[in-house]
Structure 1
């Protein structure tokens, strides 16, 4: 490695292992999946026993629905696919099962002074709501659903217990739900603060590294111009004999070669940035637009990209979104727009900006229109990535930017 490049690389800071928002979400969801399986397994004997008191066939159906959704929730948290959907599904199915319970009980006397087995899954349901919903809605679920259970406990189908016991059962579920909600909310806020601080530090470092690399490059070019170019020009001006002219020509070829090598070894940024940082920057950019985009993020955790790639992906994506806002809408109809971000293995990213708007023929875009050719395609090519435009008049537009080149095909 040349000395100048070594000095640039040396100033790169060592990244520490930090807890990101994505990691908090993954850990919380997987803990929910694990404890959901444990709590579900513990209730199986009681559920089988109480099935005899329900309308024929409904006990088995209720167990199949709730236990099946718990298993699906555990699989979703392990694979990190459709976690929020699985959490919402279980929370909704639990509410439906709780409301249907009084109508499913056929022999209320068999349940006298006993606790419906649904109670032992109440904490799993409130935790699923915390994972899937915003804090305000999760808090509402945490208070309302245990209150509904407390009312059911007063009825014959719920055991016809004393009001004090029903209130205590409901309050116990509320306290557990509030504790989970508080812990998860604090972890999310702390992780967001760490993410923001890391993003700001990386941006400052990127600026400093680029300035340092540019200064080193300027000194190197100055020395090259002095040692090669000026010397060549002076030799050519003083050349009289054929031998002196041949020497000047050789010196000129050598100077041109060294200039080409210097241009090929330009300044670089050496740090890497987590893909969630890019996701947050794109979400922040969306807040400045008057028209909404549906955002879908897949496999962002654990993916890291070079700073230059992040900058290229961000700039090209924002330009593509601006193009969609300017050209996709048709008279009397507003296009639907999506921003899809997908991590590829541990070091790649594919971003799709899609709409169902007016569309266009890419081959007929004038050469003087620089939005696609320079701001998107050339920018991604210069960073080592690719950009692809898919569009037809009347069929919408999809712009796909990927880094590194070929990441879109290997995802």
Structure 2
């Protein structure tokens, strides 16, 4: 993988799975566990009282089964393990308890007009079914179980109430169950829509990141070709004196080295190096030129920059230096050139390549000229920095490179 592509993908946010649906399921399950404990606790006194009307031991066994399954459901929901199994177990045990109730009651006279304590757990059971089963089965359970309770109410074991009251009790339980079913279903559907949109957005981001990495690599290659190859060829073609030919030979050697390094470049950590390393690198590069530069260095102590920023600053500075050497001189006039390097706080840098030569109008530079646009401006932008060119015909040129972007405006 190209280095720029690798760095761009590494800098991108890590891909994560969609969690909206999982959050809905977790909240729903914990609500069932919590309200199950609350509703169960409220029915304990009535369950103890009505256990006297059941077969000996049946009341205690029924309470142990239902309350035990509610406790297991609460533990499972808050632990996040075996939630569906615990909810399904409680829903099934509740339905079986409801069907077994008429066969367990022995004192039907005492139950006359009374409300079986199982009624108060009906909504907990229907909600558990919604959590544990698919929509079609949850809907069936939400309708059938309240209907079964309504039938139970008509029997002597269920209080032998009037059909109207039995229907009202069944409808009330069904309405509560359907309301919970609708709310959870809507939340699930909304969460699925969010998950789908999030997944699509992540895919689009991945595509954009790859395209951006490809564009960065293209700019890097274009800048490398211009800086190292094209500049070397132009210098060699224009060389007339032995000094100029020697300079062209050194530039050709440097171009070959940089091409080899670019071909072998791979992923590397985002290390930080001292600004002094950049200063030494630029001084060493200036030694290859016969044209003198005045070098001024300020506030480099303690300043560290990322390797990628150092590479961008060094390459863009060298392109500005080469441009000055090739284009700034005017016949019959001595051109003064300066390289100014200034550290900014602990992690910033501003570099100025200035001359008082012939200058130019940046607005008239054609798009086909890559030296300013790609080798300087885009290179600094891709590294998180900025470049500014101040030039005018007859008044010289100053190229200002700053990293990170905006650090120049933030300091005097």
TM-score w.r.t. the length of structure 2 is 0.55
Alignment of 1:1-150 (within 5 A): 20-150=20-150
Superposition deviation, residue 100 in structure 1:
0.8
Superposition deviation, residue 264 in structure 1:
2.6
Matched, 1:259 2:266: no
Contact 1:112 1:156 in 2 (8 A): yes
Separation of aligned partners in 1, 2:235 and 2:264: 21
Contact 1:105 1:157 in 2 (8 A): yes
Pick closer, same or farther for the CA change 1:218–1:250 going to 2, 3 Å: closer
Alignment of 1:177-196 (within 5 A): 177-196=177-196
Separation of aligned partners in 2, 1:246 and 1:161: 106
Listed one character per residue, the Cα deviations across residues 261-299 of structure 1 (whole Å, up to 9, x for unaligned) are 3x4369xxxxxxxxxxxxxxxxxxxxxxxxxxxxxxxxx
Superposition deviation, residue 260 in structure 1:
2.5
Superposition deviation, residue 62 in structure 1:
0.8
Pick closer, same or farther for the CA change 1:232–1:89 going to 2, 3 Å: farther
Give the aligned CA root-mean-square deviation in angstroms. Answer: 3.6
Contact 2:229 2:252 in 1 (8 A): no
Separation of aligned partners in 2, 1:197 and 1:243: 58
Deviates more, 1:251-260 or 1:124-133: 251-260
Name the SS of the counterpart of 2:212 in structure 1: helix
Superposition deviation, residue 234 in structure 1:
10
Contact 2:228 2:252 in 1 (8 A): no
2:362 alignment partner in structure 1 = none
Pick closer, same or farther for the CA change 1:128–1:141 going to 2, 3 Å: same
Alignment of 1:178-217 (within 5 A): 178-217=178-217
Contact 1:66 1:90 in 2 (8 A): yes
Separation of aligned partners in 2, 1:160 and 1:124: 24
Contact 1:232 1:255 in 2 (8 A): no
Contact 1:154 1:163 in 2 (8 A): yes
Gaps in structure 2 of 5+ consecutive residues: 240-244, 270-412
Superposition deviation, residue 177 in structure 1:
0.7
Higher relative contact order (CA 8 A, sep 6+): 2
Separation of aligned partners in 2, 1:229 and 1:83: 66
Separation of aligned partners in 1, 2:251 and 2:215: 32
Superposition deviation, residue 247 in structure 1:
8.6
2:406 alignment partner in structure 1 = none
Count of paired positions: 256
Q: Which of the pair has more CA radius of gyration?
A: 2
2:351 alignment partner in structure 1 = none
